[in-house]
Amino acid sequence: MVNVIGLGYIGLPTALMLASHGVEVVGTDYNAQLVETLQAGKTTFEEKGLDELFQQALSAGIRFTTEYQTTDTYIVSVPTPYDKFSKKVDPGYVVAAVKQVIQVCPDSATVVIESTVSPGTIEKYVRPEVKAACAETGKEIRLVHAPERIIPGNMLFELIHNNRTIGADDRETGEAIKQMYASFCEGEIVVTDIQTAEMTKVVENTFRAVNIAFANELAKICRYDNMDVYEIIRICNMHPRVNILNPGPGVGGHCISVDPWFLVGDYPGLARVIDESMKTNDGMPDFVLNRIYEIMQEKGMTDLTRVGLYGLTYKENVDDCRESPTLQLLESQKRHLAPGLKVYDPFVRSDIAENQVHDLDEFLDSVDFVVLMVKHDEIKENMNKLAGKIVLDCHNICPLPGVYHI
């Protein structure tokens, strides 16, 4: 049996995938309310195909509880926040979860850490705590790092098809865990050491962050001299060895906007391109806010309450608002003390922002100027409703004439 600890954005799909592929699974989370929701047969966030997979896993016998189980294999998928000041990863939740496992597990159990951590974290911070807890209980455990790589919005497909990395202290443990993931993963599964696995995960997200920062910097250069950044990137990408990503209103989520900071925090002075890239991405919501003020001035508009931000989530077609560029923009705008912008997102039903509207038509009726912060399918399918509005399109998705870009 596998006990999956932490039933959030990664732990839950992983637990469901294992269960629906013949592995006996118990999912554990310390959040009793979340566990009750799952026990009541409801999923806790929106993701393509998740409800169907949930039903399959329930039929296969998955159970949810707040209790840690006694078994030989654990998957730990808990948050790894970072300290915004030091830029270092906080392994506190991982350490706490592993220590709790040690209280209930048999000798020689394997604990797979899926949470993203900076290179060396398991050796420096987790292993000493594990050793101390093991010494108290007289047990040994095997630590493994198997960072997840799935992209929100296409998680279930990627769980099956992405390649994976398993970092282990010895080949035998790595191969055993590889077999567990191979129950559902059709990609190649590479077995390596723990620190290499830690580093590869952070480097993958850093590669994407730096590439997005490059696109954002190009957008700023092109704005300065009135060039079309999208056309330029499109043509550059026709070169066989160039693949520039898309500029946007900022980089959100709990991965690409966070993980590269671990390298800046751990290797200050060495991670210079990464540091500048992260600052460029973090500056994009303010850049968009300035564009809003610029366009309002050009149009002779003064009333900010007639301006609306479309989209609150960190990216399209997900309900996750962590590190959302829209929320960052609203924070900045609040400091300007003027009455706030309207905001709407079809995926966000609870009130998380001032002046939030919950219906697309009501939102559009209440504003003259719409800023497309997130490219949800909903707005792509309703572009005609933007006719006659001033539009600042942060993703180059609006085909209407006279649209502004970042």
Q: Which residues are catalytic?
A: 201, 255
CB of 59 to ligand SAJ, least distance (A): 28
The site string for ligand SAJ over 300-319 (x = CB under 6 A, - otherwise) reads --------------xx----
Q: Three-state DSSP class for 318?
A: coil
Q: Which is nearer to ligand SAJ, 113 or 133 (CB)?
A: 113
Contact 28, 69 (CB under 8 A): yes
Angle at 273 between CA 270 and CA 276, to 5 degrees: 115
The whole-angstrom separation of Cα 71 and Cα 313 is 38
Q: Shortest approach of ligand SAJ to residue 143 CB, angstroms?
A: 20
Residues within window 257-286 making contact with ligand SAJ, judged by CB under 6 A: none
We find the least distance from the C-beta atom of residue 204 to ligand SAJ, in angstroms, to be 4
Residue 306 CB-density burial (10 A; 0-12 exposed, 13-18 middle, 19+ buried): middle
Pairing assessment for the beta strands 141-145 and 73-76 based on DSSP bridges: unpaired
Closest separation in Å from C-beta 362 to ligand SAJ: 25
Asked whether the beta carbons of 54 and 16 are under 8 A apart, the reply is yes
Q: Restricting to residues 179-238, which ones interact with ligand SAJ according to CB under 6 A?
A: 204-205, 208, 212
The site map against ligand SAJ for 101-140 (x = CB under 6 A) is: ---------------x------------------------
Complex with ligand SAJ: residue 253 or 308, whichever CB lies closer: 253
Q: Which is nearer to ligand SAJ, 78 or 304 (CB)?
A: 78
Binding mask 145-164 for ligand SAJ (x = CB under 6 A): ---xxxxx------------
Residues 21-50 interacting with ligand SAJ (rule: CB under 6 A):
none
- CA distances from residue 101 to 68, 69, 121, 236 in whole angstroms, order as listed: 7, 8, 18, 51
Identify which of 206, 235, 203 has the alpha carbon closest to the alpha carbon of residue 218. Answer: 235
Which part of the chain contacts ligand SAJ (CB under 6 A), choosing from 16-24, 51-59, 70-78, 142-150?
142-150
d(Cα 277, Cα 215) in Å, to the nearest integer? 10
Contacts of residue 44, Cβ cutoff 8 Å, sequence gap at least 6: 7, 12, 34, 37, 38
- Shortest Cβ 347–ligand SAJ spacing (Å): 14
| Position among 252, 265, 285, 346 found at the interface with ligand SAJ (CB under 6 A) | 252
The residue (of 174 and 260) whose beta carbon lies closer to ligand SAJ is: 260
Distance between CA atoms of 305 and 367, rounded to whole angstroms?
A: 7
Of 6, 13, 91, 253, the one binding ligand SAJ by CB under 6 A: 253
Stretch 63-82 residues interacting with ligand SAJ (CB under 6 A)? none
Q: Is the Cβ of residue 105 or residue 406 nearer to ligand SAJ in the bound state?
A: 406
Q: Say how far apart CA 214 and CA 247 lie, in whole Å.
A: 8
Of the candidates 255, 292, 341, 367, which one interacts with ligand SAJ according to CB under 6 A? 255
Applying CB under 6 A, the span of 102-110, 167-175, 243-251, 346-354 interacting with ligand SAJ comes to 243-251
Tokens 């952070």 locate to 202
Helix axes 284-299, 272-282, angle to 10 degrees: 40
What is the helix, strand, coil percentage profile of the chain, to 5? 45, 15, 45
Total chain residues near ligand SAJ (CB under 6 A) = 20
To ligand SAJ, the closest distance from the beta carbon of 277 in angstroms equals 12
Query: Shortest distance, CB of residue 321 to ligand SAJ, whole angstroms?
Result: 11
Residues 160 and 35: their CA atoms lie apart, in Å, by 25
327 binds ligand SAJ (CB under 6 A): no
Nearer to ligand SAJ, 73 or 313 (CB): 313
Strands 164-168 and 369-372: unpaired
CA gyration radius for the chain? Answer: 23
Interface with ligand SAJ (CB under 6 A): 116, 148-152, 204-205, 208, 212, 245-246, 248, 251-253, 255-256, 314-315
